[in-house]
A and B are shown apart, each in its own frame.
Chain A
């Protein structure tokens, strides 16, 4: 197992579109394991492969307090069903920033597990928010994009400044 490096906003690589997974092999299983490990260490509740610079449509998630309920979504597709909800979201690629984002309340998820078996579920609440957030990542989108231009600027400057500071400290 290994901890992977998480790309930090406004890294351009977060803007790429991930490719569907076609091969379900040991390499994919290792990626999922490493991603889970990285997510738990962060600590986070969801991680998309693109955030660790892997251009595959892979999402790991664990919403439980006990960190014992790992969910894996390969090639996830979302169908919006009904309602809207607002939730204060944060992102491992945008550390320290939390902002309220409006999402669809109830969605249907079609995805595959790590072996390639398809499954379907309907959900609302945090799982719904989280999967929408992660699928955005797979499409090159970050939750900051939903904020006003002014707030986006502020986030960008804050993170660039922090990155500069940590770089100079390292040097």
Chain B
């Protein structure tokens, strides 16, 4: 067999970024793949200089998809056939460029049409040209505003109808802020490693490097950068002075009321952000971090970078016969897998990957994990249950069921931070409180 076609490789390097973006959107939206993982695979093959544009198109396209899709359905006389989904996603990319990117109109249209040729779909040139130009025409004569009024409310904030309804049902008075903030680009927040430096010193270091930043309002170790930068441009990151972590997540440590020498279990530890936060706050605790084998590597990497010590176990929580030494823990941190509805601004693909019924599925898993961990908690010990979900089904509802089954479990009010006091715990909502949407509940063992 001959070597793979060099001619084709050349073509691939000049590949249309619009086409790559459309492919990423298709993989995420139609096939439910993770945005970050899809992007990782695509950017590996891509010229470095093109990566920021791809990130913008892919993240932005995910964020604005339901809105642009709504427009698209109004601009098309009949929907695009199921087998031509790439044309559909290229149109979404084209519209995104016209609506949100600083790019001359003609370039946005031309590049999209060229992308068709690169994907061997030149038959759709007339269609794509027509739709994008219709958009421009209607934008310029302001009939677009009228069109916008015809879109359903969920499309206006670019959410799938079921998730839009769920958020409105759960948080009627806050839904507008939640949805709006979920569409914003999130700030980049750092957690300063108190074992290596102080927030004051680190802020001075950032100032010296002309990186504009401010301390977080509630977390005593947080710093918010005015403009996100990649971690290799964050001073002393490799040396373990700071980690990237949202403010709401940072607040977990204070909730736990740590004391020197306590035995602490981080029961769903990967990627280790909160594990490390605990150790930075109270390095003398004996911490065991457990997560599934395919996930623990990142915990080890984070511990090593930050210069912290913990016992890392790669096992299911339920298989504690395999790893638990039988000594009870004074504190258990349970940052359970969840729908991620509180962090949609960080992971815009979550809105595409959730379906009706997911909340119930997650809550069943969350309850199982709580059941697994509870026997390992010492008497008068405390378990902190955490999710980055804003859905009561995964939060208060899980706790309600759990304490109904366990007479030795009592809820202790979360009082160290700002938030909405729910029946059992405390809820922080994106756009209402600072940081991502998180839920916390403290369970004491009697």
CB of B2 within 8 A of CB of A92, answer yes
Which of the residues B1, B5, B7, B8 comes within 8 Å of A130, measured between beta carbons? B1
Within the complex, what minimum Cβ distance (angstroms) separates B151 from chain A? Answer: 39
Residues of the B chain whose Cβ atoms lie less than 8 Å from the Cβ of A57: none
The CA-CA distance from A94 to B2 in the complex, in Å, is: 9
The CA-CA distance from A109 to B4 in the complex, in Å, is: 22
Within the complex, what minimum Cβ distance (angstroms) separates A88 from chain B? Answer: 6
Q: What residue of chain B has the Cβ atom nearest to residue A94's Cβ?
A: B2
Bitwise, A86-119 to B at CB < 8 A (1) or not (0) is: 0011111011001000000000000000000000
Bitwise, B159-187 to A at CB < 8 A (1) or not (0) is: 00000000000000000000000000000
CB of A133 within 8 A of CB of B1, answer yes
CB of B2 within 8 A of CB of A44, answer yes
Q: What residue of chain B has the Cβ atom nearest to residue A89's Cβ?
A: B1
Bitwise, B1-32 to A at CB < 8 A (1) or not (0) is: 11111011000000000000000000000000
CB of B2 within 8 A of CB of A91, answer yes
Which of the residues B1, B7, B8 comes within 8 Å of A46, measured between beta carbons? B1
CB of B8 within 8 A of CB of A45, answer no
Within the complex, what minimum Cβ distance (angstroms) separates A95 from chain B? Answer: 7
Q: Within 8 Å of chain B (Cβ to Cβ): is A43? A: yes
How would you classify the secondary structure of chain B's contact residues: helix, strand, loop or mixed? loop
CB of A134 within 8 A of CB of B1, answer yes
Residues of the A chain whose Cβ atoms lie less than 8 Å from the Cβ of B8: 88, 98
Within the complex, what minimum Cβ distance (angstroms) separates B4 from chain A? Answer: 7
The CA-CA distance from A47 to B8 in the complex, in Å, is: 21
Question: For chain B, which range describes its interface: under 10, 10 to 19, 20 to 34, or 35 or more residues?
Answer: under 10
The CA-CA distance from A158 to B7 in the complex, in Å, is: 18
CB of A45 within 8 A of CB of B1, answer yes
Q: Within 8 Å of chain B (Cβ to Cβ): is A42? A: yes
CB of B2 within 8 A of CB of A45, answer yes
Residues of the B chain whose Cβ atoms lie less than 8 Å from the Cβ of A43: 3
Q: Which of B202-252 contact A (CB under 8 A)?
A: none
Count of A interface residues, CB-CB < 8 Å: 19
Most buried by B among A42, A90, A133: A90
The CA-CA distance from A98 to B8 in the complex, in Å, is: 9
Which of the residues A42, A88, A95 comes within 8 Å of B4, measured between beta carbons? A88
Bitwise, A21-56 to B at CB < 8 A (1) or not (0) is: 000000000000000000000111111000000000
The CA-CA distance from A99 to B335 in the complex, in Å, is: 51
Residues of the B chain whose Cβ atoms lie less than 8 Å from the Cβ of A129: 1
CB of B2 within 8 A of CB of A95, answer yes
CB of B7 within 8 A of CB of A91, answer no
The CA-CA distance from A91 to B1 in the complex, in Å, is: 4
CB of B5 within 8 A of CB of A42, answer no
Q: What residue of chain B has the Cβ atom nearest to residue A43's Cβ?
A: B3
Residues of the A chain whose Cβ atoms lie less than 8 Å from the Cβ of B1: 44-47, 61, 89-92, 129-130, 133-134
Within the complex, what minimum Cβ distance (angstroms) separates B290 from chain A? Answer: 33
Residues of the A chain whose Cβ atoms lie less than 8 Å from the Cβ of B7: 98
Most buried by A among B1, B2, B4, B8: B1
Q: What residue of chain A has the Cβ atom nearest to residue B5's Cβ?
A: A98
The CA-CA distance from A161 to B3 in the complex, in Å, is: 23
Within the complex, what minimum Cβ distance (angstroms) separates A99 from chain B? Answer: 10
Interface on A for B, CB 8 Å cutoff?
42-47, 61, 88-92, 94-95, 98, 129-130, 133-134
**A-B CB proximity, top 6 nearest:** A90-B2, A46-B1, A98-B5, A133-B1, A130-B1, A44-B2
Q: A47-B1, A90-B3 are in contact. List 10 more A-B contacts (CB 8 A).
A: A44-B1, A45-B2, A45-B3, A88-B4, A88-B8, A90-B1, A98-B2, A98-B8, A130-B1, A133-B1
In the complex, 13 of the A-B residue pairs with CB atoms within 8 angstroms, ordered by the A residue number, are A45-B1, A45-B4, A46-B1, A88-B5, A90-B1, A90-B2, A90-B3, A90-B4, A91-B1, A95-B2, A98-B2, A98-B5, A133-B1
